[in-house]
């Protein structure tokens, strides 16, 4: 092999490496950001599970107090069923949003029953519910931040080319269906 042939092969190899390395780096970066968003969604699900675990205890107590708001508990049960059967993150987000609305109505109903407000168990359950809702808010915010980083990386050039080639689709933010639900109801138990 001649010296010019070796130089030509070296130049071609260098060009190929210069093209492939950024592709590999971008692919790895998108994969990392995608995994971070998945991990953050898992944290959201942990807090949603805490909420699901707390609601039956609250329902049991309220039913013993003869506070029966069947529609609210039916909505919560239906949202939980939808959540359990949801296949995609978007479907799970929709079901979680439905329970947001039902919980807001439940807390308003509880406030209308003075004997409930002073009960020690309700105070503990309310504290647990408040803590769970706050942790859920934080995890939702962190999930949306992880999705924003991922979506930004997948949209900007030249990452968008790599994202398109390898199927890195845009992710959905966790948004509540009703903007009024962003403000937690004031409950003074």
- For the chain, domain boundaries: 3-182
CB-based contacts of 67-70 (< 8 A; 24+ apart in sequence): 67/109, 67/110, 67/113, 67/116, 69/105, 69/106, 69/109
How confident is the model over 104-152, as pLDDT tens digits? 777 777 777 766 656 777 778 778 888 888 999 999 999 999 999 999 9
Question: What's the fold here for domain 3-182?
Answer: de novo design (two linked rop proteins) (1.20.1440)
66: left (phi over 0), alpha (psi -120 to 50) or beta: left
d(CA 147, CA 142): 9
89, 95, 96, 98: CA torsion to nearest 10 = 150
pTM of the model: 0.74
How confident is the model over 9-64, as pLDDT tens digits? 999 999 999 989 999 999 999 999 999 999 999 999 999 988 888 888 877 777 76
């Amino acid at each position: 092999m001649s010296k010019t042939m070796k130089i030509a092969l070296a130049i071609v190899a260098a060009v190929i490496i210069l093209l492939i390395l950024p592709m590999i780096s971008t692919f790895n970066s998108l994969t990392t950001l995608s995994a971070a968003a998945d991990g953050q969604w898992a944290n959201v699900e942990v807090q949603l599970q805490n909420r699901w675990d707390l609601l039956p205890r609250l329902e049991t107590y309220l039913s013993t107090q003869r506070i029966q708001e069947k529609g609210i508990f039916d909505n919560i049960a239906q949202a939980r069923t939808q959540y359990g059967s949801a296949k995609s993150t978007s479907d799970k987000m929709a079901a979680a949003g439905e329970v947001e609305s039902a919980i807001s109505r439940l807390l308003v109903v509880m406030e209308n029953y003075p004997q409930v407000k002073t009960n020690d168990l309700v105070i503990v359950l309310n504290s647990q519910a408040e803590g769970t809702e706050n942790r859920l808010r934080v995890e939702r915010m962190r999930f949306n931040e992880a999705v924003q980083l991922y979506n930004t990386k997948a949209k900007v050039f030249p990452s968008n080319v790599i994202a398109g080639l390898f199927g890195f689709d845009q992710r959905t933010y966790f948004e509540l269906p009703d903007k009024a639900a962003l403000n937690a109801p004031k409950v003074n138990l």
